[in-house]
Amino acid sequence: MLKVKNLQVYYGMIHALRSASLHVKPKEIVALIGANGAGKTTLLSAVSGVVRPASGEVSLDGTEITRERADRIVRRGIAHVPEGRHVFKPLSVEDNLLLGAYHRFSLRSRAAIRQEIEGVFSLFPSLSDRRKQRAGTLSGGEQQMLAIGRALLSSPKVLLLDEPSMGLAPRIVREIFGHISKLRRERGMTILLVEQNARGALSIADRGYVLETGRVVLQGSSEELLANRDVQRAYLGRERET
């Protein structure tokens, strides 16, 4: 479904991505792990059109989208939930969700979009009680749920999630990961998940890639990566007993 081939991205003299390649199959959760500065956010930004690669190729369902504008990429079916949530804080929860459907909103679609908003409230019940509340007054976990819900209103084929656990308490992190698993299980969502919480990400993912200094240095099933000694030392905090 989603293919990234030999992406090269520069920020001035900084070579942020170095021939990075990966793929995500339909209904897969794929984790992208790595240290700060490895290029994880840059890769997602290049896929969603926020950053323009110097070379390489991004394709969705066999169609190249590398040079397309970010808004056209959203219309094609890629939704990007950025690091730090970036909800519209002065607006209500409900208005934030409506903005997720801005590119397809019309008089004809209004009823269907309202129904989809109710579906988001079913997925995240804590948001339903706060639908008229300003987004900026929500907790960090609730803002993350709202950011994911807003992305779902664009009717994506692929969901790009950038550090959804960042700054959240362990109990809320488990809840967010549970919601991500539920999206794939119940809605058949295809997800590319960027996370520094490698253990949490790999626990819900089918496969994973390890990114170091802009390069993909390792890939495999989640079980293989969790058992890999280098991954254990660098990202899991310990080696498992043999």
63-120 pLDDT, tens digit per residue, is: 999 999 999 999 999 999 999 889 999 999 999 999 999 887 765 678 889 899 999 9
206 in Cβ contact with 22 (< 8 Å):
no
Mean pLDDT of the 197-219 span: 95
Q: For residue 13, which amino acid is it?
A: M
pLDDT band at residue 240, thresholds of 50, 70 and 90?
A: very low
Q: Would you state the pLDDT for residue 108?
A: 60
Q: In what order do the strands lie in the sheet with 14-24?
A: 14-24, 2-11, 55-60, 63-64
- Mean pLDDT within 5-16: 96
Supply the pLDDT for residue 216: 96
Q: Is the pLDDT of residue 241 over 50?
A: no
Of 196, 189, 150, 192, the C-alpha closest to 173 is 196
How many angstroms separate the Cα of 139 from the Cα of each of 82, 143, 188?
A: 17, 6, 28
pLDDT of the residue at 239? 46
Q: What is the pLDDT of residues 52-63, one digit of tens each?
A: 999 999 999 999
Averaged pLDDT score across all residues of the chain: 92
**237 pLDDT tier (thresholds 50, 70, 90):** low
Task: Quote the pTM value.
Answer: 0.92
Amino acid 106: pLDDT: 61
222: how many CB neighbours lie within 10 A of its CB?
A: 18
In the DSSP assignment, the letter for residue 25 is -
The predicted structure's pLDDT at residue 10: 96
- Percent of the chain at pLDDT > 70 equals 96
Structure confidence at residue 109 (pLDDT): 76
Give the count of alpha carbons within 13 A of 51, CB side only: 24
Sign for the pseudo-dihedral over CA of 114, 120, 122, 127: negative
- CATH number for the domain running over 2-86+158-236: 3.40.50.300
Neighbours of 192 (CB within 10 A): 26
Q: Of 199, 184, 213, give the one whose Cα is nearest residue 24.
A: 184
